[in-house]
Amino acid sequence: MDADWPPIIRSIAVNRPISRKPIDKSKLRTWLQNIRFEHVRAYVHSGRRFADLPTNVLQDAWIRSIQQWALDVTQEPSERVGIECEFSLRRLPAPVHAVRKEWEIIRNAALVTWKARERDPEWQRKLIADIEADLSRGDHAKDN
């Protein structure tokens, strides 16, 4: 999974510029997994909009959302996260094989955005501070 992390996240795991102490990679993995968990929790709390869809219909909807997103990478389809949450709850993988070309377009656009943001020290400081705050909240929760 580490290889899939955006460069700034990998850098934080190694350097952690604010405290000069590396962030434990397992904690960073946990932080990223928690983001996914929070999406699933919000999806379930909102009523699982896609729960009654047959798997093939759900897959088709996800494919269409990725195709739509690839046409305009600045407008992420709102239903994509919900569909992916439903996949997660069903323990099904997203049919990435069906949208390899579109996924590459989205991935490349994301990398361009990350590279631009990596050169912005204020954005980096905020990201690192947010990650550290989330990680420390997790440490405190574990201690209580």
How many folded domains does the chain comprise?
1
Asked if residue 10 is part of any domain, the answer here is: no
CA angle 84, 131, 32 (to 5 degrees): 25
At 126 the pLDDT is: 82
At 1 the pLDDT is: 45
At 3 the pLDDT is: 54
CA-CA distance, 125 to 18, in Å (whole number)?
8
Asked if residue 3 is part of any domain, the answer here is: no
At 13 the pLDDT is: 55
Which secondary-structure segment (H or E) carries 137?
helix 121-143
At 144 the pLDDT is: 43
User: Residues, the chain, total?
Assistant: 144
Question: If you ran DSSP here, which 8-state letter would residue 22 be given?
Answer: P
Asked if residue 67 is part of any domain, the answer here is: yes
Distance set, CA 18 to CA 22, 130, 133 (Å): 10, 11, 12
Asked if residue 1 is part of any domain, the answer here is: no
Segments forming the whole domain that contains residue 60:
23-143
Asked if residue 35 is part of any domain, the answer here is: yes
At 12 the pLDDT is: 54
Q: Chunk the chain into consecutive blocks of 10 residues (it has 144) and report each block's average pLDDT, rounded to whole numbers.
A: 54 51 69 87 96 97 94 88 96 95 90 80 79 70 46
Asked if residue 12 is part of any domain, the answer here is: no
Asked if residue 109 is part of any domain, the answer here is: yes
